[in-house]
């Protein structure tokens, strides 16, 4: 006994007590028994929940013993564990307690593994010979079993300590990395969850409050086991859909030994369920569902109770971190929203024209919602929509698709005064913008109203279907409300401005405005080397009409002359009523010949429209650079007009 036992125990003491885990202890014990002592079939069973579970079986004929589990008291091993004493059976065929696991076995010795009076399991050695084990074997294996039991106890204590350290480290890491950035927090959670549970795949789903769906926020996975595009294959889940949806609905965590056998499990597209263990943990704070963590690991039963306990602890820590990050994100979004609204309000209070108001409102609506494009359709007095301003769209192409059909979305908003949110423009025939910009898919529209009047329709658009939420709709409505007040003010300002620079009788500019523009246009012509023409038109018969028919007839006479002039000039020409019966026309980028043709056109049209020479007009023409400044230009045109009068009226005279 001395020769065989001492080296075995010395080796066992040095190797077993250095093993870092329970698995290492079991493997080392099996190896020492076989390599050093020469034992053949050998088994190590551990006590678990009132059963003996096969931890290792080595040697000839032991394959059938793999996976063996039986209650205490069953078989020779169960009797040994229950009685906590060595059982040395010289002939197993005569012992009714024996459970045949190895057809070659004839004798068996079983030794209990006991440490600090706690039963940890049993060690069993078989032999194909009868009466193979003697007293020396009992003493040797008993001493060896005590070392194995101590090593197991030591490894379990060390593993527990490491698990506690891992748990604390994981939660500390999440707390440390859980900045107030939601994406960064979710990434920290998924990485630590993957590490402490040794998972092959971990997904953090976050609840989208708008859609009510669980949306994949971040994922960590083993690229050797899953396709590279695994992240893109994950889809949003409804609450109650799949294992993750079940956890969200019930607010319960679950450890699933084999997801392929669980009817709640749903496969990811192109990824078979196979035999995998799964863990789902809901993320809940103060009874508010934030999301779900879902982890899987290859191999049925590969997650332990310790993994599950760690997962739940980490899930609780993750819930707090995600709640804080989401609250910070929402607060930041709200502050940003208020800042944008303040900026929009400030800008709208400063602008003075309708075009400026509409441009500022559209810019603000696109900014606050994250839209990619925008349109404002202006509704004019004739009831028709025309393009007022656009953002990131081809305005020329867009203008051909004005929403003037009575069934259009803009027309409907003008009638009802209600906003619209459209998730897919391709499925809604009321929206005409898709004809000009087919890449756009979703939109929010709001009517622009003020003091009961509809000014138009504002649209914010995006290329992703369903991009806009109820919150976005509310934001655009707030912008539209600010815009409404600014529109009424801008319209009043424009009307006041128009009245201050126009002649009430004819609608042409007045003399004060004309002189301001004359100086500007002379300066522009000098700067760029352009020509500039000035045409003076004077009625030949206003005094005669007033004397014979009265001032109202004279006013109608002037309005008819004004209409004749308006129909004879270019849209870019600047026309003003200069005096009682004089009109002045400023023609940018027009030379003396073009101005002469305009003057002749007006003279001929006036003579035809008014009937006879007595109601004709006289015209004087001058041009820059023939004259060098504004005063000289006007004097020369006036001198030419006087010459036309002296020549008998109904005449055009060109200065120089």
pLDDT at 197: 83
Range 345-367 average pLDDT: 77
Which residue pairs, CB below 8 angstroms and at least 24 apart, start in 63-66?
A: 64/101, 64/102, 65/101, 65/102
- Of residues 614 and 342, the one with the higher pLDDT is 342
Range 69-82 average pLDDT: 92
Average pLDDT, the chain: 84
Residue keyed to tokens 């004309």:
514
pLDDT at 153: 85
Range 335-342 average pLDDT: 66
User: pLDDT (tens digit, 9 = 90+) per residue, 246-303?
Assistant: 999 999 999 999 998 999 988 888 888 788 899 999 999 888 899 999 999 998 888 8
- Of residues 621 and 498, the one with the higher pLDDT is 621
Range 607-632 average pLDDT: 78
pLDDT at 611: 47
Q: How far apart are CA 324 and CA 181, in angstroms?
A: 9
Q: Which residues pair with 53 in a beta bridge?
A: 46, 69
pLDDT beyond 50 at 613: no
Range 205-224 average pLDDT: 88
3-state DSSP assignment of residue 150:
helix
The span from the first CA to the last CA of the chain, in angstroms, equals 141
pLDDT at 459: 94
Range 430-439 average pLDDT: 82
pLDDT beyond 70 at 178: no
pLDDT beyond 60 at 114: yes
In this prediction, what percent of the chain has a pLDDT beyond 70? Answer: 87
pLDDT at 340: 67
Range 173-185 average pLDDT: 59
Cβ–Cβ < 8 Å for 625, 632: no
- Of residues 183 and 408, the one with the higher pLDDT is 408
User: pLDDT (tens digit, 9 = 90+) per residue, 478-498?
Assistant: 888 877 767 767 666 666 666
CA distances from 381 to 251, 386, 446, 499, 585 (A): 59, 11, 19, 19, 28
User: pLDDT (tens digit, 9 = 90+) per residue, 630-647?
Assistant: 888 989 999 999 999 999
Q: What is the CA radius of gyration of the chain?
A: 47
Residue keyed to tokens 């004359």:
518
Tokens of 317: 């820590």
pLDDT at 321: 78
Looking at 10-19, 203-212, 458-467, 618-627, which range is the least confident one? Answer: 10-19
Q: Which residues pair with 204 in a beta bridge?
A: 218, 293
Q: How confident is the model at residue 78 (pLDDT cuts 50, 70, 90)?
A: very high
Cβ–Cβ < 8 Å for 100, 106: no
Range 557-565 average pLDDT: 88
Cβ–Cβ < 8 Å for 457, 448: yes
pLDDT at 592: 92
Q: How confident is the model at residue 550 (pLDDT cuts 50, 70, 90)?
A: confident
Range 401-406 average pLDDT: 89
């Amino acid at each position: 006994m001395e020769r065989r036992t001492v080296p075995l125990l010395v080796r066992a003491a040095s190797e077993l007590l250095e093993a870092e885990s329970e698995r290492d202890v079991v493997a080392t014990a099996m190896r020492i028994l076989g390599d050093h002592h020469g034992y053949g079939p050998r088994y190590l069973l551990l006590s678990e929940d009132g059963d003996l579970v096969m931890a290792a079986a080595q040697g000839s004929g032991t394959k059938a013993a793999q996976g063996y589990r039986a209650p205490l008291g069953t078989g020779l091993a169960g009797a040994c564990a229950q009685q906590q004493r060595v059982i040395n059976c010289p002939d197993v065929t005569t012992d009714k307690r024996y459970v045949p696991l190895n057809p070659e076995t004839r004798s068996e010795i079983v030794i209990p593994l006991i440490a600090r009076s706690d039963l940890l399991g049993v060690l069993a050695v078989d032999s194909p010979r009868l009466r193979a084990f003697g007293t020396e074997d009992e003493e040797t294996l008993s001493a060896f079993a005590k070392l194995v039991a101590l090593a197991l106890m030591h490894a379990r204590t060390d593993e527990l300590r490491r698990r506690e350290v891992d748990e604390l480290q994981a939660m500390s890491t999440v707390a440390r990395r859980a900045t107030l950035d939601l994406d960064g927090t979710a990434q920290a959670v998924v990485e630590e969850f993957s590490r402490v549970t040794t998972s092959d795949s971990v997904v953090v789903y976050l609840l989208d409050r708008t859609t009510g769906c669980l949306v994949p926020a971040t994922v960590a996975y083993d690229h050797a086991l899953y396709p590279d595009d695994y992240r893109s294959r994950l889809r949003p889940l409804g609450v109650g859909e799949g294992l993750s949806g079940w956890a969200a609905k019930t607010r319960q965590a679950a450890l699933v030994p084999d997801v392929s056998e669980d009817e709640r499990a749903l496969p990811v597209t192109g990824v078979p369920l196979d035999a995998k263990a799964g863990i789902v943990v809901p993320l809940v704070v103060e009874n508010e569902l934030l999301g779900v963590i879902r982890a899987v690991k290859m191999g049925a039963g590969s997650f332990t109770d310790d993994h599950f306990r760690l997962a739940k602890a980490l899930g609780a820590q993750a819930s707090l971190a995600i709640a804080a990050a989401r609250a910070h994100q929402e607060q930041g979004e709200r502050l940003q929203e208020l800042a944008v609204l303040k900026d929009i309000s400030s800008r709208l209070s400063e602008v003075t024209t309708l075009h400026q108001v509409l441009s500022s409102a559209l810019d603000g609506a696109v900014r606050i919602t994250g839209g990619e494009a925008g349109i404002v359709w202006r509704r004019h007095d004739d009831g028709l929509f025309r393009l007022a301003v656009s953002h990131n769209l081809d305005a020329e192409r867009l203008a051909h698709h004005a929403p003037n059909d009575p069934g259009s979305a803009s027309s409907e908003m003008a009638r009802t005064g209600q906003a619209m949110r459209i998730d897919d423009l391709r499925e809604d025939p009321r929206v005409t913008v898709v004809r000009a910009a087919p890449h756009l898919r979703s939109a929010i529209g709001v009517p622009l109203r003020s003091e009961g009047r509809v000014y138009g329709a504002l649209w914010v658009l995006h290329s992703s279907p369903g991009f806009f939420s109820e919150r976005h709709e509310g934001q655009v409505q707030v912008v539209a409300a600010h815009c409404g007040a600014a529109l009424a003010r801008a319209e009043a300002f424009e009307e006041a401005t128009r009245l201050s620079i126009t002649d009430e009788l004819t609608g042409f500019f007045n003399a004060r405005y004309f002189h301001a523009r004359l100086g500007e246009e002379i300066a522009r012509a000098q700067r760029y080397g352009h020509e500039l023409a000035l045409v003076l038109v004077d009625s030949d018969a206003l005094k005669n009409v007033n004397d014979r028919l009265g001032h109202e007839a004279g006013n109608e006479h002037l309005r008819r002359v004004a209409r004749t002039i308006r129909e004879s000039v270019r849209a870019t020409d600047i026309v003003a009523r200069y005096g009682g019966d004089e009109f002045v026309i400023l023609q940018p980028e027009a030379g003396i010949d073009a101005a002469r043709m305009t003057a002749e056109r007006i003279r001929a049209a006036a003579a035809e429209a008014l009937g006879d020479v007595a109601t004709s007009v006289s015209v004087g023409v001058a041009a820059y650079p023939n004259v060098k400044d504004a005063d000289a230009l006007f004097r020369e045109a006036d001198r030419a007009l006087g010459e036309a009068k002296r020549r008998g009226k109904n005449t055009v005279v060109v200065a120089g």
